[in-house]
A and B are shown apart, each in its own frame.
Chain A
Amino acid sequence: MTLLAANNLFKRFGSFTALDGVDLDLDRGERLVICGPSGSGKSTLIRCINRLEEPDSGTITIEGLPATDLQSLRRRVGMVFQQFNLFPNLTARENVAIGPRKLLGLSRAEADARAEALLDRVQLAGHADKLPSRLSGGQQQRVAIARALAMEPVLMLFDEPTSALDPEMIREVLDVMVELGEGGMSMIVVTHEMGFARRAADRICFMDQGRIVAMAPPQQFFEAPPHPRLVRFLENILGH
């Protein structure tokens, strides 16, 4: 069943065309990985989905409904940023609890309980009282995932969630994401972690110059890349 349908999206920044007619569908429970060279429009695409960017033209529906109300759309779509963007003045627990408390009307106790459960789920049970500055990058990113999950989204967007991390912390974040996908969460993940894509994606798409130029299940994507530019991209990124 279709969860997300984006049709013919265009987005320009000045004279530069960042999205050049993108169509994208996602089924409920599906995990899609987006890769492509820097500047190809990956961030712009997923930021259009939760309307951090407003597309110039095209339509996006989620659960069959166009976004009439930005706030309620964004509550149903979680987002994880490359730079974590945790609120530095709040503890891990407060970071996770503040959305449900301020936006969903949960009491402090209810929101805290939800936060504790989610921190537990991302393997941070003992860290609830710490400020972000006292957590490692990998831990911060897992708090950010828990913060997004706290709104009980139907779709999770990840924008290069491990690009800002030291190599030894990438694994702990990807493991949480794999588990999330196995639990049935619908996800769109912008990443260059091809191991993750192979392990966790249902489909992988390759963007170049504002377009989706290739889209395939992992096996086919890697063994028989359906586009010459993708072949070159994979050669670069896999280092051979």
Chain B
Amino acid sequence: MSFDWIAFFEYLPRLIRASGVTLQVSLLSLGLACVLAPILALSRLLGPTLLRSAVQAFIELIRGLPPLVVIAFCYFALPKLGLVLSGFWCGVLALGVVGAVYAAEIIRSAIESLGKGQLEAALALGFARWQAVLDILLPQALRRILPPLTNEFANLIKASSLLSVISVHEISQVGQSLIFETFVVIEILVQMAILYLIIIGTVTFISRRLEKGLSS
């Protein structure tokens, strides 16, 4: 079997365009996750009992479902509830919520792993609970949050490949249709792999730099 360089370069532009879509979906859902996750984590830590249980139930629910089911729910069920979104925005919503839920658990467990002593020391000084969490605990937890969060974001990018099922023209969807159209398999798979690696590698690189910045 020989590697067909001509086919490789012929289909590359289409996949590069598709990786733009992957990148957009990933960054937008990552942004959504970054906004939602602290809200979920802090309501679970600080909210009144009812809110706390509701948020916990929501987190457990989403974590218990395969992301594909969440995506399908957004695409097929939300319109019945009156919310019609394009495949692209469905993907952003579904992946954003899934990412947020995992990130919220990372934030919460990092804060809880600091131990009771830190919280009590802050409370004993006269900090209110929310103030203690924001001013004292969160800054300490940040170092423990970032590494697993980077992993989660890499997972989010990989999960964007699932959006092929709702016809979002991201890398996997475009790659698959190219393969079925052309029967050029290996070359296209290699392109897909390289593009994913570049995107995920970039995100990982940026957050490693952030980690370094934090620990110095």
**Is B126 an interface residue, CB under 8 A from the partner?**
yes
A87 touches B121 (CB 8 A): yes
List chain B residues, Cβ under 8 A from A83. 117
List chain B residues, Cβ under 8 A from A75. 125-126
Q: Write the chain B residue with the least CB distance to A79.
A: B124
Total residues of chain B contacting the partner, CB 8 A:
16
A72 CB to closest chain B CB (Å) equals 7
A148 touches B140 (CB 8 A): no
B135 touches A102 (CB 8 A): yes
From the candidates B117, B122, B125, B135, name the one contacting A148 in the complex (CB within 8 A). B125
Q: Write the chain A residue with the least CB distance to B117.
A: A85
A102 touches B139 (CB 8 A): no
B124 touches A102 (CB 8 A): no
Known: A87-B140, A89-B140. A103 touches B117 (CB 8 A): no
From the candidates B117, B118, B121, B127, name the one contacting A102 in the complex (CB within 8 A). B127
Residues facing A in B138-173 (CB within 8 A) are 139-140
List chain B residues, Cβ under 8 A from A238. none
List chain B residues, Cβ under 8 A from A99. 125-127
B196 CB to closest chain A CB (Å) equals 36
List chain A residues, Cβ under 8 A from B126. 71-72, 74-75, 99, 103, 151
List chain B residues, Cβ under 8 A from A203. none
B127 touches A52 (CB 8 A): no
CB-defined interface of A64-107 with B at 8 Å, one 1/0 digit per residue? 00000011101101110101011111000000001100110000
From the candidates B121, B136, B140, name the one contacting A81 in the complex (CB within 8 A). B121
Which secondary structure dominates where chain B touches chain A? helix
Residues facing A in B106-134 (CB within 8 A) are 117-118, 120-128, 131
- Docked Cα-Cα span, A75 to B123, in Å, equals 9
How many cross-chain pairs have Cβ atoms below 8 Å apart between A and B? 53
**Is A147 an interface residue, CB under 8 A from the partner?**
yes
List chain A residues, Cβ under 8 A from B118. 85, 87
List chain B residues, Cβ under 8 A from A103. 125-127
List chain A residues, Cβ under 8 A from B124. 50, 52, 74, 77-79, 81, 148
List chain A residues, Cβ under 8 A from B139. 89
List chain A residues, Cβ under 8 A from B125. 74-75, 98-99, 103, 147-148, 151
- Docked Cα-Cα span, A89 to B126, in Å, equals 19
List chain A residues, Cβ under 8 A from B127. 71, 99, 102-103
Known: A89-B139, A89-B140, A98-B135. A52 touches B123 (CB 8 A): yes
Residues facing A in B14-70 (CB within 8 A) are none
B98 CB to closest chain A CB (Å) equals 31
Q: Write the chain B residue with the least CB distance to A78.
A: B124
List chain A residues, Cβ under 8 A from B120. 52, 81, 85
B26 CB to closest chain A CB (Å) equals 31
List chain B residues, Cβ under 8 A from A50. 124
Q: Write the chain B residue with the least CB distance to A104.
A: B126
From the candidates A71, A74, A87, A148, name the one contacting B136 in the complex (CB within 8 A). A87
List chain A residues, Cβ under 8 A from B122. 87
Residues facing B in A38-54 (CB within 8 A) are 50, 52
Known: A71-B128, A98-B135. A88 touches B121 (CB 8 A): no
A43 CB to closest chain B CB (Å) equals 11
List chain B residues, Cβ under 8 A from A88. 140
| 23 A–B pairs (Cβ distance < 8 Å), ordered by A | A70-B128, A71-B127, A71-B128, A74-B123, A75-B125, A79-B124, A81-B117, A81-B120, A81-B121, A85-B117, A85-B118, A85-B121, A87-B121, A87-B136, A88-B140, A89-B140, A98-B135, A99-B125, A99-B126, A102-B135, A103-B126, A151-B125, A151-B126
Residues in A lying within 8 Å of B, measured CB to CB: 50, 52, 70-72, 74-75, 77-79, 81, 83, 85-89, 98-99, 102-103, 147-148, 151
User: Ordered nearest first, which 5 A-B pairs have the shortest CB separation?
Assistant: A75-B126, A85-B121, A79-B124, A85-B117, A99-B125
